Amino acid sequence: MLVLVVLIGLLFAFYLFYKTKYFRSNRLVEKKWLSAKSNIALGLFVFLFGVNHLLFISESTVTYIVSALFIIYGAIFSWIGFKKYKHYLPFAIEEAKNLETQK
């Protein structure tokens, strides 16, 4: 249980970190890439939050339904974020190289 709580806290911290970097960035593709990374962190946060509630909170029908929704939503959100991350990574590298050569 402690491991899940620590992971949930770390993922929320990563989400805040990437969102802060997103708002401070001036490059367009880098912003999309950072947004994808924050989507992954948020999706995993919600997923693990649902798993934590499913395993360690009271056993009722409402808990099972809400936990299942959190797990499904978190998995989908992470998967979409990962696909965006893979898509924007080469463009972000190219954008960084172009900015480096312009200086």
Query: What is the extent of the structural domain holding 66?
Result: 2-102
Is the predicted pLDDT of residue 79 greater than 80, yes or no?
yes
Residues 60-74 have pLDDT tens digits of 888 899 999 999 999
Among residues 90, 80, 93, the alpha carbon closest in space to that of 38 is found at 80
The answer to whether the beta carbons of residues 46 and 74 sit under 8 Å apart is yes
Is the predicted pLDDT of residue 18 greater than 80, yes or no?
yes
N- to C-terminal Cα separation, the chain? 50
The tally of domains found in the chain comes to 1
83, 15, 44, 32: CA torsion to nearest 10: -10
The structure's pTM equals 0.88
